[in-house]
A and B are shown apart, each in its own frame.
Chain A
Amino acid sequence: MRKLSVELQGVSKTFHADGQSVRSLDDLTLRIEDGEFLTLIGPSGCGKSTLFNLVVGLLEPDEGDIYLEGEICRERIGRVSYMPQRDLLLPWRNILDNVIIPLELTGVPREEARGRAQSMLPLFGLEDFANSYPSALSGGMRQRAALQRTMLAEKKILLLDEPFGALDALTRRELQGWLLEVWRRFGQTVIFITHDVEEAIYLGDRVAVMSPRPGRIVKIVDVPLPRPRRQAMITEPIFSSLLAELLEALGVTI
């Protein structure tokens, strides 16, 4: 077994608001290996985003421990790179200046940061848009920029929260293939949240299924498809049987 990258051990989190308490995560345990691509699916409101906020360090668990690269970790802010569903580009910065934000925050001088980002733009298909404002770009292009920004943080762990959720089906397929390509080059550990079961199988080394609130992991399946993945693989029998297994775990009647 490879080295563990992220480990959540018996993590629980309850939110209190307006005199009510909502148990978002309940005794959740999950281990992700170094360099693994794990996809996470679950019904709406099952606490997936809470899970991310915990790993990122924006929240602390009520119970349980979070390990990063084998150590219990309380100061997690800045160790994990997080990409939300919305691209959240700054409208007042052009694409180049948007993607360098993580470098700028760690004190890299702007000119140097621009230089480093510039050479990476072609990989993200953004070389013609360096000086454009985000409002001039399509949704797919904006997500590419958001992903480059996430990558430039140069963290070993990436949390992607439904990054393609708002895109049309065609653009989504295109970006899935391209994401895998980028991931192959950089080799980070990825946790990828999605609502789309096919997407989860197509991208992941393993797929984890969460229960409705309070969220916990109810099933983890290995995806035995070889890499690099091809769109044609979604027609293979193994793909269909995984799809059926996962849909059943989600409680969808098939």
Chain B
Amino acid sequence: MDSRDKVIQPRSTRFWHEALPPLLLVCFVVLVWQTVAVRSGLSAFILPSPIQVAQATYETWDILLPAIGTTMVETSIGLGIAIVFGVVIAGVMDISNLLRRSLYPILVASQTVQILAIAPLLIIWFGFGLLPKVLVVILICFFPLAVNTADGLASADPDLVALLRSMGASRNQIWRMVRLPAAMPSFFSGLRIAVTYSVVGATIAEWVGGSAGLGLYMLRSKNALATDQVFAAIVVTSVISIGLYTLVYALERAVLPWYYTTQREEHWEGAGIY
């Protein structure tokens, strides 16, 4: 059947169609958590109930808000630099096979180094300020960006490149018209992974040695056995990560309309990918 014959659902129906199942599931889990926390008789510092977590969030909001600000600044700067760095590395690897073969093992090796071991060293070298946190975020985020973008650049159809060459296209024109746009979906896949890691990266760096931020809030709450506040920080971190992810997803759909055509989505839906 021709996919264009199908009735396309209005946007709002579509949103609920997609958002309702996960929302219901989250509500269910929170409900179970609440029941277990209340009925089991465990003390609040072992398992606080969702209501207690919400209360802790509300009561410490004055401390949480600037902490969120600090973490967001570190995350944004780190992520921004990681994007530039990752794309540049991918571009360099694309220039020649020799460069790719030389760089790839180093990239992989950089990811095998434990962040928890590196972070304190960065604190010793660069102090308790912004720089070491930004470095940790870069270290975590540039890898998925570089690898995905490099794969995307390499994925350009060789027949397409040959066709443009036959039309007399220069290397630069082929880059601009074929290789770069072909790499965009992969770049965004990398970016989606990177943003979800970025907040966690910044938080870990603050935990290890920070003078502000959500990581420090978490560490102090843990030391004070204020488990409800630890949970509050976890929830806030998750919400920020999900928010960033959604933002990237929306950006991706705006920038790559050709990749998210109605036909393709219906095809995905039919194949059960959604």
Contact = CB atoms under 8 A, between A and B. Distances in A.
Contact of B169 (A56, A91, A105, A133): A105
Interface in B143-166: 157, 159-160, 162-166
Contacts of A80: 166
Given A58-B162, A88-B160, A90-B178, A133 B168 contact: no
Contact of A88 (B159, B165, B182): B159
Interface in A132-173: 133, 135-136, 153
B173 A105 contact: yes
Given A105-B173, A136-B261, A90 B160 contact: yes
A64 B169 CA distance: 26
B165 A135 contact: no
Given A133-B261, A136-B261, A136-B263, A105 B166 contact: no
B157 A88 contact: yes
Contacts of B258: 91-93, 133, 135
B131 to A, nearest CB: 38
B165 A105 contact: no
Contacts of B164: 101, 105
Interface string B255-268: 01111010110000
Q: Which of B162, B166, B169, B261 has the most CB of A within 10 A?
A: B166
A82 B169 CA distance: 13
A195 to B, nearest CB: 18
11 contacts: A58-B165, A58-B166, A86-B159, A88-B159, A90-B160, A92-B181, A101-B167, A105-B169, A136-B261, A136-B263, A153-B167
A73 B65 CA distance: 72
Interface residues of A, number: 24
B259 to A, nearest CB: 8
B167 A88 contact: no
A190 to B, nearest CB: 16
A10 interface: no
**Which interface class (under 10, 10 to 19, 20 to 34, 35 or more) fits B?**
20 to 34
Contacts of B157: 88
A153 B258 CA distance: 25
B177 interface: yes
B263 A90 contact: no
Contacts of A101: 164, 167, 177
A102 B167 contact: yes
Contacts of A84: 159, 163
Interface in B173-205: 173, 177-178, 181-182, 184
A82 B168 contact: no
Interface in B231-261: 256-259, 261
B177 A90 contact: yes
B163 A90 contact: no
Given A133-B258, A135-B261, A136-B263, A106 B165 contact: no
Interface string A179-220: 000000000000000000000000000000000000000000
A133 B182 CA distance: 15
Contacts of B261: 133, 135-136
A57 B165 CA distance: 9
B181 A82 contact: no
Contacts of A136: 4, 261, 263
A77 interface: yes
A135 B263 contact: yes
A102 B163 CA distance: 10
Interface in A87-106: 88, 90-93, 101-102, 104-106
